[in-house]
A and B are shown apart, each in its own frame.
Chain A
Amino acid sequence: MTNSGNKHTLSAFDEEMDKIRSLISEMGSRAESAVEGAMKALLTNDMKLAKKIRHEDKIIDKLEKEVERIIVQTIALRAPMADDLRELIAAIKISAVIERIGDYSKNIAKRVGHLKTEDFLSDNNALQRMGEIAGEMVSTAMESYAKRDIDLAIAVTRRDDDVDQLYKELFVDFVGFIAKHPEAAQEVAHLLFISKNLERIGDHSTTCAGMIYFTETGENLPDD
């Protein structure tokens, strides 16, 4: 049963819910640009941008703590039920997941400057492609959150398979590359971690989509 759209008799309750939603949206849009920025910094070897992403992670962490504080307070004071309860439980999980996406973006950004195999990078469409899909998954998940749109949530989960598949392919490529160019092992290991981070970002976006689906329907996303 989705929200009827009617307001709570207690308007302060609505205000708290609105505050939580807007904080999560802010976290989401920051995480979205962190993923994008981290990949851009990587591909253009932009140290300044990389530093900005690392700073962004700190802001996202702070926002998560703030969201958590308001949610705990709302649960304690309002004793929420039904869709309100589901939304708050989902909000705790979604904010935690966005915080992780921020971490992974930071982790990618940290590796900027350690990579000299730019040829390899710019040739490597799969990694770029993976970064694009992961970024789109985050943004679609957040759009789904804002619009309470379960079709968009389902769309996010569909893309997770693409990311997983790319990760598997990349893994084979990287290992093969190391075998041929053992001198590049360290750098390629960085790339391997980056692809793993992107794969995890895809997973977290999927978790986020699942929680949106749960909020709206009271049920878990069907596994296809």
Chain B
Amino acid sequence: MAEQNSQSDTSDDGTDAHKITARNVNVFYDDKQAIDDVSIDVDMENVTAFIGPSGCGKSTFLRTINRMNDTIPSARVEGEIKLDGKDIYDPSMDVVQLRARVGMVFQKPNPFPKSIYDNIAYGPNIHGLAANKAELDIIVERSLQRAGLWNEVKDRLSDSGTALSGGQQQRLCIARAIAVDPEVILMDEPCSALDPIATAKIEELIHELRGKYAIIIVTHNMQQAARVSQRTAFFHLGNLVEFGVTSDIFTNPQKTRTQDYITGRYG
């Protein structure tokens, strides 16, 4: 099995250049350690799912990848995280730029209380991605297209983003992340507030976005991890217990703790 893992690891892309490499990452909130010596590689070709019981550190680790933990005063990050081989914690790293390159979608859809159009246009505007209104229109349309929302909102772009349904709001947030042309999209339980149909639409969207962006999704729904990802990382008490090909993790995990969790034998 280990052999098969490493085989499919390389055969998918034929290269070993990873989009994100994390090495020996520790995260503390004051004295409390939330992430313990985690190393992981994430690539463009595969959707990576983070699973594990509540409080195991999935969100904390996810936030290290776009330095969102910087906004939490008690949080302290140790170790090394590289994006395209560049240390994102290097003092020369522009954090605003980094967060455009590494977009994030949260559990609760959080559109700005502005029009649908402005929700998407906001990022490209502040990053100066459009020279004029026509270019901005193109970015807005393309982002909404990619997020699978265009047909539903094209006739009401000036309506408020908050007037959309929950599932549409979440796709709006994904469109907003896409609008600044990111390389990585982090999703923290993006479907947990959505009904099954809206969830299926997000999952289908993730499937379509695969390969265009490196995607990491945190989910407490194991079936969802199995459906949308090709790589799965199981976290437990701040440790990365097991990381591998999703189909292997769900049919033949190598660690007892992983197996107990995914088969519902956890505590």
Task: Name A residues whose Cβ lies closer than 8 Å to a Cβ of B.
Answer: 1, 3-4, 6-10, 13, 78-86, 218-219
Contacts and interface: CB of A to CB of B under 8 A. Distances in A.
Interface string B248-267: 00111111101110111111
Contacts of B252: 1, 82, 86, 218-219
Interface residues on B, range: 20 to 34
A contact patch SS: loop
B260 A4 contact: yes
A9 B251 CA distance: 19
Interface string B229-260: 00000000000000000000011111110111
Contacts of A13: 264
B131 interface: no
Given A4-B256, A8-B264, A13-B264, A82 B223 contact: no
A7 B265 contact: yes
Nearest to B257: A4
A4 B259 contact: yes
Interface of B: 1, 222-223, 226, 250-256, 258-260, 262-267
A1 B244 CA distance: 14
A80 to B, nearest CB: 7
A71 B213 CA distance: 40
A6 B255 CA distance: 14
Contacts of A7: 265
Nearest to A6: B265
29 contacts: A1-B252, A1-B254, A1-B256, A1-B259, A3-B259, A4-B259, A4-B260, A4-B265, A7-B265, A8-B263, A8-B264, A8-B265, A9-B266, A9-B267, A10-B264, A78-B264, A80-B263, A81-B222, A81-B251, A82-B251, A82-B258, A82-B259, A83-B259, A83-B263, A86-B251, A86-B252, A218-B251, A218-B252, A219-B1
